[in-house]
């Protein structure tokens, strides 16, 4: 049985991690803005924006599980 070949380039999960890290850094610096142009103050909203942007960039990030 042959070994699985790995695809070249970065995986979508690492792409997602990079995007989330970038957005959270913007939030920490105070430069992250919402769609309406206002500064984001809440960490929860910053996480939501980060996940949304990561999904738009093509990262495979699962949706929030509903209980």
pLDDT (0 to 100) of residue 64? 79
Q: What's the average model confidence in pLDDT over 37-62?
A: 92
Cα dihedral angle (15, 16, 22, 25), rounded to 10 degrees?
A: -140
55 contacts: CB under 8 Å, gap ≥ 6: 16, 61
Per-residue confidence at 54, pLDDT binned at 50, 70, 90? very high
pLDDT (0 to 100) of residue 44? 95
More confident call, 21 vs 67: 21
């Amino acid at each position: 049985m042959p070994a699985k070949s790995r695809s070249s380039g970065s995986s979508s999960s690492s792409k997602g991690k990079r995007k989330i890290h970038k957005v959270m850094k913007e939030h920490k610096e105070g430069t992250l803005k919402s769609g309406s142009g206002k500064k984001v103050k809440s960490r929860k909203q910053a996480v939501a924006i980060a996940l949304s942007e990561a999904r738009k960039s093509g990262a495979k990030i699962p949706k929030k599980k509903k209980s």
